[in-house]
Amino acid sequence: QMGLAENQLSIDMLELWLKEHPEASMSLNQDAGTSVFRELALYQDYHGLPTFRKAIANFMESLRGNKVKFDAESIVLTAGATAANELLMFCLADPGDAFLVPTPYYPGFVRDLRWRTGVEIVPVHCDSSNRFQITKSALERAYLEAQNQKLKVRGLIVTNPSNPLGTTLSVKALRNLLAFVQEKKIHLVCDGIYSGSVFSPPRFHSISEILPNDNHICDNVHIVYSLSKDLGLPGFRIGAIYSYNNTAVKTARRMSSFCMVSSQTQHMLSALLSDFKFMNHFISENQKRLRERHRFLVSGLQKAGITCLKSNAGLFCWVDMRHLLPSPDVNGELMLWQSILDEAGLNISPGSSFHCKEPGWFASR
């Protein structure tokens, strides 16, 4: 199964930490010798445990080299990034409004952004001529297309690091995105759930690093994070919204009662994230393992005459198999996908499922 973005490379390190820190999962205050089970079993603050929100804020800071500060009071906890993205759509747009999304993009956005919110997705078509970078002209074309469809554009959402490209946005690219949303007076949502999984240069740059000291500009910026990818804990359903917009934070918190994180999970992960020495080692070792696995896959494909887009982050390789297509169209792409599935027993996702307009690209995870 190479179509599932699940990081199992470093779960052994987390298992060892839990074995050495049983108090985290047993709800036992080791220093005081008392159980906090009774407290956790009762209703907690719907905003989340203060200790956990603070731990998440500190962890997000560390992933950005402590170059920025995150206020725990501006964090909204959700049951995974799926819920976080959907919640933001409810807060920022009305049914029938639109968000621009650069291609290729995560197929789950169709579910996360549209199904229950009624928000439309307008693709910003990027191509291989410039390594699928997001250009001003591509953004303008998408914005114009939305207007032609009588859609009101409420925002732009990007994944940084990219799912499925495995690339990171430069400071220049981030500044261009910020300038575009300011010009159009729309929102910018940065989904950064792979921000701790950058395994090679260039380093990860967050939109938070380049925000000016201007509250009016910051009001339009929102960050989504999760522990599913960087820690390999998708089953724990930990997501978070960080917004510079106080109204968005207040609204999202009111709605977050429908997608809360269990108190027991928050308690355990508060202890984990607060072990700074372990977390620094874990992130470093996980990045090393990702780098080694990435090199192994890319070199193996190269031996078979197949190249990949140069990438440095996440769990992806964006594989170029255009030369293997039986016909240069989506039908040819799906035929090749079926052949790989039938003959090799490998399920790798075709680029068309990521709304890529160039047939022949595949996402291997």
- Which active-site residues does the annotation give? 106, 191, 193, 229
| Distance of alpha carbon 343 from alpha carbon 363, whole angstroms | 18
**DSSP for residue 198:** B
For tokens 């990435």, the residue is 294
Of 89, 99, 112, nearest in space to 142 by CA: 99
Across 192-305, the runs of DSSP E, i.e. the strands, are 221-226, 239-243
Helix residue spans in 33-167 (DSSP H): 37-41, 50-63, 81-92, 109, 136-148
Largest CA distance in the chain: 69
Cα 239 from chain centroid?
10
User: How many Å is the Cα radius of gyration of the chain?
Assistant: 21
287 neighbors 229 (Cβ within 8 angstroms): no
> Roughly how many angstroms between the first and final C-alpha of the chain, as a whole number?
8
Query: What is the DSSP secondary-structure string of 149-169?
Result: TT--EEEEEEESS-TTT----
Q: How do 317-320 and 361-364 pair as beta strands?
A: antiparallel
| Distance of alpha carbon 351 from alpha carbon 357, whole angstroms | 8
Token digits for 290? 């990702």
Query: What is the DSSP secondary-structure string of 280-332?
Result: HHHHHHHHHHHHHHHHHHHHHHHHTT-EE----BTT-EEEE-GGG-SSSSHHH
